[in-house]
Chains A and B, each alone.
Chain A
Amino acid sequence: MYGFEALTFNIHGGYLEAIVRGHRSGLLTASDYNNLCQCETLDDIKMHLSATEYGPYLQNEPSPLHTTTVVEKCTLKLVDEYKHMLCQATEPLSTFLEYITYGYMIDNVVLIVTGTLHERDVQELLEKCHPLGMFDSIATLAVAQNMRELYRLVLVDTPLAPYFSECITSEDLDDMNIEIMRNTLYKAYLEDFYNFCQKLGGATAEIMSDLLAFEADRRAVNITINSIGTELTRDDRRKLYSNFGLLYPYGHEELAISEDIDQVRSVMEKYPPYQSIFAKISYGESQMLDKAFYEEEVKRLCLAFEQQFHYAVFFAYMRLREQEIRNLMWISECVAQNQKSRIHDSVVFIF
């Protein structure tokens, strides 16, 4: 019953909600980002970061530092926090936390399959995988030749198994198929997550519906823009859109027939929440679209913390941390390549 969560939420979730809110207070603020943007070298960045919550993770790294090391250690912090929360959680929070990682699993699967297709070494690929999306049999993905084998050998034992029913074909894997596979899996995952949150009900369902709908719509726009000019047919494109969200179903009809960015823009401007995003970028320019979407996402994620006694704070925290790691990666790369003028192109401030 919506409105009465406060009476029973704290029995199982009170401690973890307080912990995740404590973690949120450790996110980097605008003044931290200002300091980081003024750095000249990666060692300066390391020094500034050791004054924040990342201190214990970075202090043992020897100089010279690489940008990948910085990102790796920051991700490690996120993984540690996540594992701590997961082992303390009871049902249904533990299922909810596991759902958050399925997206990373899908990305890892696609990474390894693509890498194998381009004949890279399996060990090298495993190191690049996101640690939150690891599962036991991931190394055997390199053996599979087509999707049926992929499913039968590896994925049937993982939580991703139910998402495969829509995309099993016997064709061999190639770049186009893999992208379609990625998007089909992600679509099934988002719908599954959405239904799970609806079953939980209450404030969790309400807030997660909003966050997941935005995610679904953003992916729809990205799929549309990335498939303009490729050989993806309109029907195939329409099959990749999720069946919930603001754009469902009429927006999807219009997006499926869009052939360039201005048409996409005219479709999106009919929806007031997305009008503000598209107003920020001028005609014909799509590079800033990513940043505009990230900013809108961060705004909505911060709003999830305004309410107490629901699970969406966990999801919001993981996403905000991810955004912070993206910011740190961008700043480190700009500093390492001496292109500090471009730092503000892609950093999204959280506070």
Chain B
Amino acid sequence: MSSSWSRALTQISPYTFASIGIAISIGVSVLGAAWGIYITGSSLIGAAIKAPRITSKNLISVIFCEAVAIYGVIVAIILQTKLESVPSSKIYDPESLRAGYAIFASGIIVGFANLMCGLCVGIIGSSCALSDAQNSTLFVKILVIEIFGSALGLFGVIVGIIMSAQATWPAKTA
């Protein structure tokens, strides 16, 4: 047994990678959503003291951030349905490894895309609340920027789902 890193990596069970991928997909997405919500929320609360009219409209920013967490949950549920048991003789087959890595990658893609998307929407939402408090014609224009920002999360979800669709474990019978 030569000791090289590639040897070490291929000895790790593909289920480890798959499970970590699922954890990252939901965990990091929720991190992004929460980060975005607190950035928007603190500015919104302060600005709404002088300008109470902005509260209802600006909850849209919070909803966009929340959507990011929902994407993470959906993809995590989809990914966990892709996990199948294979007989122990086949765990380290190339096919199994490929399936494990695909689920892992899918989880990372979705997690980090949603993290950045949540941050982006949160920061824009904070500026949106402050600008709306001063000048209400600005709200719709800044909302367009937020919509473009939330598209980033969707890109991540699409690629993640395509990636996980090809995660096929080897068939149970030999």
B49 lies within 8 A of A6 (CB): no
**A19 contact set on B, CB distance < 8 A:** 46, 49-50
Q: Which of A9-17, A92-100, A141-149, A240-248 contacts B (4 or more CB under 8 A)?
A: A9-17
B134 lies within 8 A of A21 (CB): yes
- Once A6-B123, A308-B126 are accepted as A-B contacts, the answer to whether A18 and B39 lie under 8 Å apart by CB is no
A: number of interface residues (CB 8 Å): 16
Contact of A284 with B by CB under 8 A: no
Contact of A1 with B by CB under 8 A: no
Contact of B113 with A by CB under 8 A: no
List residues of A (1-34) whose CB comes within 8 Å of B's CBs.
6-7, 10-11, 14-19, 21-23, 25-26
**B134 contact set on A, CB distance < 8 A:** 21, 25
A7 to B43 CA separation, bound complex (whole angstroms):
13
B43 lies within 8 A of A14 (CB): yes
Q: Distance (Å) between the CB of B124 and the closest chain A CB?
A: 10
Could you tell me the dominant secondary structure of chain B's interface residues?
Answer: helix
**A7 contact set on B, CB distance < 8 A:** 35, 39, 119, 123
Contact of B133 with A by CB under 8 A: yes
Best-surrounded residue of B44, B46, B126, B134 (most CB of chain A within 10 A): B46
**B126 contact set on A, CB distance < 8 A:** 6, 10, 14, 308
For A9, the closest partner residue in chain B by CB is B39
- Once A7-B119, A11-B38, A308-B130 are accepted as A-B contacts, the answer to whether A22 and B45 lie under 8 Å apart by CB is no
**B43 contact set on A, CB distance < 8 A:** 10, 14-15, 17-18
A193 to B50 CA separation, bound complex (whole angstroms):
30
**B49 contact set on A, CB distance < 8 A:** 18-19, 22
**B55 contact set on A, CB distance < 8 A:** none
For B124, the closest partner residue in chain A by CB is A6
Contact of B129 with A by CB under 8 A: yes
A22 to B126 CA separation, bound complex (whole angstroms):
14
* Neighbour of B39 across the interface among A10, A22, A25, CB < 8 A: A10
B46 lies within 8 A of A308 (CB): no
**A16 contact set on B, CB distance < 8 A:** 46
- Once A21-B134, A308-B127 are accepted as A-B contacts, the answer to whether A26 and B50 lie under 8 Å apart by CB is yes
B42 lies within 8 A of A15 (CB): yes
B50 lies within 8 A of A14 (CB): no
A15 to B129 CA separation, bound complex (whole angstroms):
12
B129 lies within 8 A of A18 (CB): yes
For B42, the closest partner residue in chain A by CB is A14
For B39, the closest partner residue in chain A by CB is A10
A7 to B115 CA separation, bound complex (whole angstroms):
12
Contact of B51 with A by CB under 8 A: yes
- Once A6-B39, A17-B43 are accepted as A-B contacts, the answer to whether A22 and B51 lie under 8 Å apart by CB is yes
Q: Distance (Å) between the CB of A219 and the closest chain B CB?
A: 32
A7 to B119 CA separation, bound complex (whole angstroms):
8
Contact of B26 with A by CB under 8 A: no
B residues contacting A by CB (< 8 A) are 35, 38-39, 42-47, 49-51, 119, 123, 126-127, 129-130, 133-134
Q: Could you list some 30 contacts between A and B, CB below 8 A? A: A6-B126, A7-B35, A7-B39, A7-B119, A10-B38, A10-B39, A10-B126, A14-B43, A14-B126, A15-B42, A16-B46, A17-B46, A17-B130, A18-B44, A18-B45, A18-B46, A18-B129, A18-B133, A19-B49, A19-B50, A21-B47, A21-B130, A21-B134, A22-B50, A22-B133, A25-B51, A25-B133, A26-B50, A308-B126, A308-B127
Nearest first, the 10 A-B pairs at minimum CB distance are A18-B46, A22-B50, A14-B42, A18-B47, A15-B46, A10-B42, A19-B46, A18-B43, A6-B123, A10-B39
| Apart from A6-B39, A15-B45, A308-B130: 17 A-B pairs, beta carbons within 8 A | A6-B123, A7-B119, A10-B38, A10-B42, A10-B126, A14-B38, A14-B42, A15-B42, A17-B130, A18-B44, A19-B49, A21-B130, A21-B134, A22-B47, A22-B133, A25-B134, A308-B126
